[in-house]
Amino acid sequence: MSDRTHVAAIVASYPKRNAIAYDRLPELIASVASALDNAANPSPANAEKSPTPAVPIRRSVLPDRIICLECSHSGLTLKRHIFAKHALTPDTYCDLWAETGLSNGRARLHDAPQRARQNAWARTTTRCV
């Protein structure tokens, strides 16, 4: 279908459900035509901007948890959360937030679990002095 056909179909169906004066039909036609043009050819001003994090990036990694930049969910790891709630892989999550200054390794795991493993290992080993 051409653009004129789409505009005609939309404008023809609009008055069936909405009350509109006949003198306002040219405005309706122009409005529908410009909306279809904008949808077909988006301008750079309407282009998607870089995402805004739910929390500041510096505050997203805490000593005991890590916070999701999409929705501010906090947990030990984000891999399962970002896949289940946002349908993102860790790599796409990192790519999405890389524009805002997130380093690649920071998005997945904070260092508390690693420190806990190191402390447990240090408690179980004997040291010779």
Secondary structure (3-state) at 70: coil
φ and ψ of 75, to 5 deg: -170, 180
- Flag whether the pTM goes above 0.85: no
Fold (CATH) for 57-122: Arc Repressor Mutant, subunit A (1.10.10)
Banded model confidence at residue 129, pLDDT cuts 50, 70, 90: very low
pLDDT tens readout for residues 17-45: 888 888 998 999 999 998 888 877 766 65
So what's the pLDDT on residue 107? 44
Half-sphere exposure of 89 (CA within 13 A, CB side): 3
Query: Residue 38's closest CA among 46, 48, 50, 30?
Result: 46
The chain-wide mean pLDDT, for the chain, equals 78
Please state, in angstroms and as integers, the Cα–Cα distance from residue 112 to each residue in 64, 71, 80, following that order. 6, 22, 18
Domain ranges of the chain: 3-46, 57-122
